[in-house]
Amino acid sequence: MTVAPGLDTSGVDRAIRRLDAIRRAPESAPSAAGTFKEWLHFCVRVPGGHVIVNFSLLERRTPGGLAWSDAHLTVLAHRQRWTGFIRSFPGRAVTMSEGGLEVAFGKSTVHWRDGAFRLAVADDGPVALRLDLVPAVMPTVSLGVERALHWVIVPRLRARGTIWIDGERYEVDGAPAYHDHNWGDFAWGTDLAWEWGFVLPEDPACPWSVVFSRILSRGGRQTRKQGTILWRGDRYVRTFNDDEMRVELEGRFRSDDARPLTLPPACSLLVPGRASGVPRALALDAAGVGDELQLRFGTESHARIAIPDDENPFGMVLLNEATGRAAVRGRFAGEEFAFDAPAIVEFVRGG
């Protein structure tokens, strides 16, 4: 692996086992607030597009007070068009052991074993895969306090294996991939939205990786917290925090031809339009202490995941997965860099 020739693989193994372990088993007693959420997220570059896989366990509660753990798998693939599915699993079909990293939702699984994430999506839907994902960097962790969203990031991995999209088979070997793990106690639909994205260069010899995130008020008018994280090779090197960065959203993206894929599909009836808060472009500028970074992202398409609002029984929260190209340039510790690559930015919006 060109980007991380000196990566301490045993250190990565220890860090993944310790930091990336499941925080809460589905059979656990309900949390005090009843709003605990946890998910494992993977994104893999395929020729001409991306595949997203998300194992999610959400504490849910109906307005009638019925509480349960909702385990669902979301799989999205984008090449010329979006395809994918979201599927719920009953408790008897779910393995998710607290403190471990052995997850099974039916026949779809993710395990950490021998220095790699072994990721499998069962072949009973439009997207299936069997991949090994080897970290190219050490994980980075961002822990909040109390009712906060915690975040473990492995921004750059190399993926090897097979992916089937709408019956077409793709072999990947060294494909750029991203993984993160979020958990926390928060309610969808409160005064919360976010924007988050990553850019991985196509050239494996280019050592730079970028992830940014912004926690916003529900309407997106106020920024609560924001940061842009930069890695060089296998090392985290810099975070541009809060006042060091500025983001401008430009225009409103509307797909030309069709409605965006919306999951679960029946939610298309509740959010029938094409626009859902995704900008046409995003411009991020960060600078401080002699370092600087500029990121320009242009949306080319998007899909939507609709999640029931925890507070408003007739509200929805939309997770917009936007694909496009990003151009990144900057300077760190006097070293200049520039690259452009396919990228994914997630725009979360209250419905």
Partner 1 sequence: MVVDAPGGLTGFARLLQESIAILARESPAHLAATRNALGQTIVRISVAGEAPARLVPGRGHDWVQAAEGPAAVEARLDIATLFEVLDGALTVEQAVRGDRLAISGGVDDLLRGHDALGAWLHGALRCPSFTELLQRMRNQYAAQLGSQDRRNLDERK
Cβ at position 64, least distance to partner 1 in Å: 5
Measured between alpha carbons, how far is 230 from 202 in angstroms, rounded to an integer? 16
Cβ at position 37, least distance to partner 1 in Å: 15
The residue among 226 and 262 lying less far from partner 1, judged by its C-beta, is 262
Strands 116-121 and 127-135: antiparallel
The residue among 46 and 306 lying less far from partner 1, judged by its C-beta, is 306
Tell whether residue 6 is a contact of partner 1 (CB under 8 A): no
Q: Which 25-84 positions form the footprint of partner 1 (CB under 8 A)?
A: 60, 62-64, 66, 68, 70
- Looking at residue 15, the DSSP 8-state letter turns out to be H
Strands 168-185 and 193-199: unpaired
Q: For residue 42, count other CB atoms closer than 10 A to its CB.
A: 25
Candidate segments 39-47, 109-117, 120-128, 168-176, binder of partner 1 by CB under 8 A: 120-128
Tell whether residue 265 is a contact of partner 1 (CB under 8 A): yes
With a CB cutoff of 8 Å and minimum separation 6, the contacts of 37 are 56, 57, 58, 59, 182, 183, 184, 185, 186
Question: Which two three-digit tokens encode residue 324?
Answer: 């496009």
**β-bridge mates for residue 133, sequence order:** 117, 159
Residue from the set 23, 79, 81, 87 that interacts with partner 1 by CB under 8 A: 87
Question: Which two three-digit tokens encode residue 346?
Answer: 């997630």
CB neighbour class for 92 (10 Å; exposed up to 12, middle 13-18, buried from 19): exposed
Cβ at position 251, least distance to partner 1 in Å: 25
Question: Which two three-digit tokens encode residue 223?
Answer: 């920024």
Q: Which 243-262 positions form the footprint of partner 1 (CB under 8 A)?
A: 259, 261-262
The residue among 85 and 231 lying less far from partner 1, judged by its C-beta, is 85
CB neighbour class for 146 (10 Å; exposed up to 12, middle 13-18, buried from 19): exposed
Tell whether residue 269 is a contact of partner 1 (CB under 8 A): yes
Tell whether residue 169 is a contact of partner 1 (CB under 8 A): no
Residue from the set 27, 166, 202, 248 that interacts with partner 1 by CB under 8 A: 166
Could you tell me which of 61, 65, 45, 41 has the C-alpha nearest to residue 53?
41
Tell whether residue 267 is a contact of partner 1 (CB under 8 A): yes
Q: Kindly list the residues in this chain that would bind partner 1 in the complex (CB under 8 A).
A: 60, 62-64, 66, 68, 70, 85, 87-88, 90, 124-126, 166, 259, 261-262, 264-270, 272, 306, 308, 313-314, 316
